[in-house]
Amino acid sequence: MNQSKVALVTGFPTSFLAVRIVDKILSEEPTWSVRLVVQAKFMERALEAIAAMTAESQARIKLLEGDAAAMDLGLSGAEFVELAAEVDFIHHCAAITYLGVSKDSAAQLNVGGTREVLELAMEADHLERLVHWSTALVSGGRRGYVLEEELLAPNGFRNAIEETRFKAESMVRRKSDQIPTTILRPAVIVGDSATGEIDRLEGPYLLVLLMLNAPMDLRIPLPGRGEVPLNLVPIDYVVDAGFAVSRDQRSLGRTFHLVDSRPRTARRVFELIARTAGRPMPRGFLPTNLATALLRTPGLERFANVPRAFLEQLATEVVYDERNTRELLAENEIECPPFESYVDVMVDYVRDQQSARRAAQPA
């Protein structure tokens, strides 16, 4: 396992997950080389990210100008053939995750990009593993216990992200008898549990922003009753666990939930954020279907920016099975940290980001 390998990572530099996977490969596999397919409009950003790395790491990276959603990944014929001939591992991270995106845009990358990666995998001469980074949200609005082995279409999808990522995982599963595959499904990803770093403030971060910007004495109602588990996973746990699972031979042909074994309820998460932000504990609740309208009252206008899709997540009672993941991680010490252990880092990071933006604004 220590011999020289070539790994392709899609999604760099726009995907926070892809950036962290590249860092993980470079730090954990000193003999590996990395290939990155980068769109022309993001090439400068990619070069800046690589320039911040050590000279040794830079020497192990090769940038290929292309597009994960385009035919043959947007590469020339010669580049595509060369990549297929040399690649050993593929970490397919490229995906649109923004809940407000249009269905066409989501399908272009989430479905189209996966189709092109599968084409490459089929052509690869000695591919050891395609690691498809899916999401636990492929279960959509399903309630109850969701198994790792199953991919059952819910009665309708709540948004384009869930639908297109469901379709992408379905495509990967259909090819798993021809391509050595591991599917990873993280829950809702939040920032680094040690530094708080995250690329975009969305999802649960909207609750943090609300708390930090609401009047100091305002008791904010919880959207929904709050008994539903809100499964959050820090990016460092997701990368550590996912990388360990994908490098284990026992993961071949299997699916793994990367989740918190003991998720806090939405109410508990809300209360911990409020306490850390120095705000009063939440009072009362609002039914999900009324939350976005009623929270436009004075002092609560910021809740109008909370997408309905996220409010629906707060109202969906689902438990993700993780027996496959626990089996493979039983021999190491990789565990998801409890929300209480990093909520202060999370809130401080958002507060610092807001302060930095205010300081950068012209007087």
**Which CATH number belongs to the domain containing residue 86 in this structure?**
3.40.50.720
**Which pLDDT does position 286 carry in this prediction?**
58
Domain final residue, candidates 186, 214, 240: 186
Same domain, 120 and 214: no
**Which pLDDT does position 224 carry in this prediction?**
63
Whether 309 is in a domain gets the answer yes
Domain final residue, candidates 128, 156, 186: 186
CB 170 within 8 A of CB 133: no
Whether 74 is in a domain gets the answer yes
- What are the structure tokens assigned to 65, written together? 């100008």
Same domain, 67 and 130: yes
Same domain, 168 and 278: no
285 forms beta bridges with: 222
Same domain, 209 and 179: no
Largest CA distance in the chain: 64
Residue 362 CA to chain centroid, in angstroms? Answer: 34
Whether 142 is in a domain gets the answer yes
CB 21 within 8 A of CB 55: no
Structural domain boundaries enclosing 304:
205-230+264-317+338-353
Same domain, 129 and 270: no
- In this predicted structure, the answer to whether residue 295 has a pLDDT above a threshold of 70 is no
Whether 249 is in a domain gets the answer no
Tens of pLDDT, residues 86-110: 999 999 999 999 877 889 999 999 9
Q: What are phi and psi of 221, to 5 degrees?
A: -70, 150
- In this predicted structure, the answer to whether residue 55 has a pLDDT above a threshold of 60 is yes
Number of structural domains the chain divides into: 2
**Which pLDDT does position 304 carry in this prediction?**
47
Residues in contact with 354: Cβ distance below 8 Å, sequence separation at least 6, in sequence order: 209, 212
Same domain, 146 and 42: yes
**Which pLDDT does position 358 carry in this prediction?**
85
Whether 347 is in a domain gets the answer yes
**Which pLDDT does position 248 carry in this prediction?**
96
- What are the structure tokens assigned to 232, written together? 């959050």
Domain final residue, candidates 129, 155, 186: 186
Same domain, 110 and 212: no
Same domain, 121 and 11: yes
- In this predicted structure, the answer to whether residue 154 has a pLDDT above a threshold of 90 is no
- Band of pLDDT at residue 217, cut at 50, 70 and 90: confident
